[in-house]
Amino acid sequence: MSYVASYVVIWWLLFFIALPISISEEEISNEHIYKKEVTNIRLVKKIAIVTIIAIPIAYGLVHYFDQFLLNQISTIIQ
């Protein structure tokens, strides 16, 4: 399994999970209009945190699946 492919898949999965977390909204009310407006989504911080978290997860999964496949092949050969 490729490190890059597994890292990209895990990164996107974690990023979309973290996307709705800690979004600040501001309520705006005029005489006739009431709405909520997003003021801060902290996107750069989310990208940095997801990047740091995805590296060891991807590395571990690649080694786990590679070892699993090697064990399967060795049992078939014997």
pLDDT one-digit tens code per residue, 31-46: 677 777 777 788 888 9
As given in the structure block, the two tokens for residue 62 are: 């690649």
Which residue did the predictor score with more confidence, 74 or 23? Answer: 74
The whole-number pLDDT of residue 77 equals 84
Domain ranges of the chain: 3-77
Q: Whole-prediction pTM value?
A: 0.69
Whole-angstrom distance, CA of residue 8 vs CA of residue 55: 10
As given in the structure block, the two tokens for residue 59 are: 């590395």
> 28 forms bridges with which residues in the sheet?
35
